[in-house]
Every structure is written in C-alpha cells, then in structure tokens.
Structure 1
Amino acid sequence: MIRRLLLIAALVMAPLAVMPAAPAQAHQQKIAISTLMVNPRTGALELVHQVPVHDAEHALRRQGVKVADIIGSEASREAFARYVTRRFLLEIDGAAVTPDYVGSEISGGSLMIYQEIAAPAPGAQITVNSQILTDVWVRQENRVNIGRGTGLVTLLFSADSGPQSATLAR
C-alpha cells in the first residue's frame, strides 16, 4: 500500500521536477535598483543601475522598438541604457550633473548599466530622482542605495515620487 502511494506521488511530482523555471521569470518584476558609491581605487562616484531584462524589453517595445532583444542585441541594450540615463536625475550639492556612460552588460536576469563621475567631497549632498520605468508601470518601485557599509542610505521611488536627498558617506 505504501509503495503504491509513493509511486503515485512520484508520478504526480515528476512533471513538476522537469518544468523549466524560465516562464516564472517572464513576468515583470517592476523594480529597479541603482547603487551610487565611491570607488576608492579610481576616485570616481560609480552608478550601477540593475533592471530586469524582461522589464527593459517591455519598456523598449512601449517606446516603439519592434524587436526588443536585450540579451541578443547590443543596439537594444544601448537604447535602454540611453533611456535609463534620461530617467535617472542626479544633483550634487544642488548642482545638476550628468554622469558619463561607461557601458552595460547582462548579469543573470538583469541588465546592468554603468555610469560614473568624479567623486564629490565626503559629506556632499546627493539628490536623486529615479523614474526608471515609472512611465511604463504605475506600480514600479526604484531603490537607490547611496554609499556603502554602515553609511548606506536607501531611497525609495515610485511614479509619484519627487527628488530625495542623502549625504554621501565614505
């Protein structure tokens, strides 16, 4: 009797064990994470934006790109990187700055976009407005981490958020 129950359970569970995980990842995650920290080796303030690939492709299609392929097309990656740099606004001590675009890459299921500027002085006031994908989804949430270690500050943004500030600790 127990053997029969175990056999039935194994037959029921077997299809679940071989189902691919990819379809679960195809849904929009509606979250982007940006990190701003000073690289002590280069003396630069580095910005890293992490956006799920599927969300990035969906945003490109909403902008009229017919074949949005973040993984297979460098042109799609660069188009989305340009979008991110327009939707992420940065001020240091009250002055608007435009970080230099460094590049992008795929890491796991995310598109990573890199920017940098010369590092401001310790204690600088960093003001950010992260509106990445908020024009695509009202429920989009963007997290911006400023600093590192015990000096880390996390700011949260949504479609109706305005600029927020934090002091840059090193």
Structure 2
Amino acid sequence: MLRRLVLMLALVLAPLAGGAALAHQQKIAISTVSVNPRTGMIEIVHQVPVHDAEHALRQQGVRLPDIVGSAKSREDFARYVTTRFMLEVNGVAVTPAYVGSEISGGSLMVYQEAPGPDGEASVRVNSQILTDVWARQENRVNLGRGADVTTFIFTGGEPPREGVLTR
C-alpha cells in the first residue's frame, strides 16, 4: 500500500520537476534596439535568464558565479554580453557604451546605448549571446518600438540581419 502511494506521488510530481529543470536553462536571450525619442540615443536592452548567465560564467572559468548576489558576477557577464552583440548603423560599426545592469524577475538586464541617427537609419545587428555555450541557443532581436517592431532570430554562426531604425 505504501509503495503504491509513493509511486502515485512520484507520478504526480514528475511533470512538475521536469518543468522546473527546463526553466533553469531557457536558452533564449532577447535584445531590444530602439531610439529614445526624447534623447535621440539608440538604446539596447539585453534580457538573459539569470541561470543561463551563471552557467556561461562557469563555462568561462568563474568558480562560483552569483549574478543575483554579486555585482562582480553581473559586471563580468555584462562585459561578455557586450562582446557578443554586433551593431552597424548606416554601414558603420558602432560600439555601444555599457550603461549598467540589473536583475528583473529571473532575468539579468544589460543596458547599452549609442548615438542615434538623425532620421531613419539602416542597421545591421547580430546577437551571438550564449551561442558559444549552447549549440541550441536562440537569440531574438527586436528592432524598433511600439507597433513598428521587426524581430530577428539568431542561432550560432548566423550572419547579421538588416533592418530600419527610426527615431
């Protein structure tokens, strides 16, 4: 009887445990690139699940990364993110300045900015964040704001994509 009860409990709880395990490695990063109409600056926001960020730091040799509790771990990962995202504006490579990072929910948010175009601009983007850690990593880049958004999806080794960014 007890064995049967334990088996039933295990069968009921198994799907919950599987979902929790999957939640730890989402293997998706989302970046948003838009022009702030007030400042005219290109603003870039990268959103990466905290667990994925910590796993990437371990892959880079950081012994006990703690994105939530350690500003150093956050900064280490933010530096990594800035090297894995490419931006060109009107055919010119742009190196966005690092603005900062913060934890929001279960994600690490990394902020960058660059001088914006005077009007409409042709931009090329490529997000290879975490593609060196997981072959199945998928990165989404949302270009624009409001109802005028173009979304690109990148996996490891894919070439940059081109779109239009307006003020």
TM over 0.5: yes
- Count of aligned pairs: 157
* Structure 2: gaps of 5 or more residues: 1-8
Query: Percent identity, aligned pairs only?
Result: 65
Please report how far the alpha carbon of residue 23 of structure 1 lies from its aligned counterpart in structure 2 after TM superposition.
4.1
Residue 30 of structure 2 aligns to a residue in which SS?
strand
State TM-score, norm by structure 2.
0.86
Separation in 1 of the partners of 2:120 and 2:88? 14
Mapping of residues 145-160 of structure 1, within 5 Å: 145-160=142-157
Letter in 2 for 1:116: E
Q: Is the 8 A contact 1:151 1:169 kept in 2?
A: no
Separation in 1 of the partners of 2:21 and 2:106? 12
Residue 64 of structure 2 aligns to a residue in which SS?
coil
Please report how far the alpha carbon of residue 160 of structure 1 lies from its aligned counterpart in structure 2 after TM superposition.
2.9
Residue 24 of structure 2 aligns to a residue in which SS?
coil
State the structure with more CA Rg: 1
Separation in 2 of the partners of 1:139 and 1:23? 19
Runs of 4+ with deviation above 6 angstroms: none
State TM-score, norm by structure 1.
0.85
Please report the RMSD computed on the Cα atoms of aligned residues, expressed in angstroms. Answer: 2.2
Please report how far the alpha carbon of residue 115 of structure 1 lies from its aligned counterpart in structure 2 after TM superposition.
0.4
Q: In the alignment, is residue 126 of structure 1 matched against residue 133 of structure 2?
A: no
Please report how far the alpha carbon of residue 112 of structure 1 lies from its aligned counterpart in structure 2 after TM superposition.
0.1
Residue 32 of structure 1 aligns to a residue in which SS?
strand
Residue 126 of structure 1 aligns to a residue in which SS?
strand
Q: Is the 8 A contact 1:37 1:147 kept in 2?
A: yes
Which residue of the partner structure matches residue 95 of structure 1?
92
* Structure 1: gaps of 5 or more residues: 1-11
Which residue of the partner structure matches residue 5 of structure 2?
none
Q: In the alignment, is residue 63 of structure 1 matched against residue 60 of structure 2?
A: yes
Which residue of the partner structure matches residue 79 of structure 1?
76
Q: Is the 8 A contact 2:33 2:42 kept in 1?
A: yes
